[in-house]
Structure 1
Amino acid sequence: MHTRERILKAAAEMLADDVTTRLSVRAVAARAGVSVGSLRFHFPTQRALQDELLTRIYRHLAPDDPILDRSRPARDRLVDCLRQVLASAGVGEEARKAWGAAYDAFIAPEPDDKVRTAYLAFERAAAGRIEYWLGVLADEHALPRDDLSRNVTFLNTVLNGLSVARALPSGESVLHAETETLYMAVDAVLGAGATTA
């Protein structure tokens, strides 16, 4: 196995063992059986390693990215991408377990450096995924590029809220309410031309 792949495999195993683990350069290098210098050659910073690992995990979970299907309107593609994120959160008991695990890992413990680093890595991965989707649409001139950062934060906040709603008891169709909310959010991001984009 190529050194870069061994490093990523070791980091993924460490994360699977403990979601709050700090992927330090020394610890990952030791687990991969490579020198720190070799790891630094492939990943100059700890953040570069974390970002690559989380990007790979996402690509594995969602290999067919709807944002690339230019035969469909930008609005529908972006909603489908956001739905993929929600699908990974589950519904009902599955969503409650996921939020319970998130609470145990990131909210209940004292926010020390380990917890903060782990959470921020997940947050960067989520934001990076949304930023990529919006970047594709900006390249197609479906939205202006100058507000990407603000729109990423907005859409990530909407997704967090909807994923919490999936864990709570509901008297109405979760899918219907989610669909309306996602289209409202995407329309806000894409602007006035969203219904025809």
Structure 2
Amino acid sequence: MSTRDRIIAAATEMMQEGAPRLSVRAVAARAGVGASTLRHHFPTQRDLINAALTATYDAAMPDERIRDTSMPARERLRECLRRLLDPFAEPAEAREVWTNLLRMFAEAEADPKTRAGYQVLVGEAERRISAWLAILEEEGALPPGDNATRSDFLLTFIDGLSIARALPPSDQRLEDETRSLAFAVDAVFDVVSRARPPQ
């Protein structure tokens, strides 16, 4: 593993453990490198955080399955979206993940750097979903449409499912979740999205 990869791995581990701040010294110590070496690879703390967030999503959301045309397109998209829920697998894990996210990003006086970090997190998810939709559109499986709006819709839907996983489970949670996820994917395929109104 390269020095850069070790630094990113250390930062990612600390984020997953709920560290409220990624101190350069703490990340360098975890990675077993000097602070100057870390600064060589990541001149600013924002560069480090962005790289760690991107690595987190790259690991959580591999793209290979979306290109597997031996599977129906809707099934491929459902499978990829379900990967977004992997950190929220069981109620205990889901509550821990949400607690850490709230601690990091939802404080009343969140500073600009924290807010920027959250935007990177959301942006990575939106980028990945938009890429999946573009792949399906290019192969002709998905009707042309406003993929930005479709991505917003799917990400909002996934956020809701992830919160539901943190709540006391019902006996039919997995069945209900599977049915709801299929409904959301069908909506994206079957409804021609209108263009997003001008801002």
TM-score by structure 2 length? Answer: 0.74
- The match for 2:13 is 16
Alignment deviations for residues 20-50 of structure 1 (CA, whole Å, 9 cap, x no partner): 54799xx99x7461776x768xxxxx67x76
- Counterpart code for 1:163: S
Map 1:72-151 → 2, pairs under 5 A: 72-151=71-150
Change beyond 3 A, Cα 1:169–1:39: closer
- Counterpart code for 1:169: P
Deviation at 1:134, TM superposition (A): 0.9
- Distance in 2 (CA, whole Å) between partners of 1:188 and 1:99 is 27
- Counterpart code for 1:157: T
- 8 A contact 1:67–1:81 mirrored in 2: yes
- Distance in 2 (CA, whole Å) between partners of 1:23 and 1:129 is 28
- Counterpart code for 2:69: R
Deviation at 1:15, TM superposition (A): 4.3
Alignment deviations for residues 88-111 of structure 1 (CA, whole Å, 9 cap, x no partner): 222211111111111111113512
Gapped runs of 5+ residues in structure 1? 41-45
Please state if 1:181 is matched with 2:180: yes
Q: Matched residue of 1:152: which SS? A: helix
Gapped runs of 5+ residues in structure 2? 29-33, 193-199
Higher helix share: 1
Please state if 1:33 is matched with 2:37: yes
- 8 A contact 2:130–2:151 mirrored in 1: yes
- The match for 1:43 is none
- Counterpart code for 1:33: T
Q: What's the C-alpha RMSD, in Å, of the aligned pairs?
A: 3.2
Alignment deviations for residues 124-183 of structure 1 (CA, whole Å, 9 cap, x no partner): 111122112111111112224541111111000000000000111133311111111111
Task: State the identity %.
Answer: 34
- Distance in 2 (CA, whole Å) between partners of 1:68 and 1:182 is 20
TM-score by structure 1 length? Answer: 0.75
- Distance in 1 (CA, whole Å) between partners of 2:42 and 2:107 is 33
Q: Matched residue of 1:33: which SS? A: helix
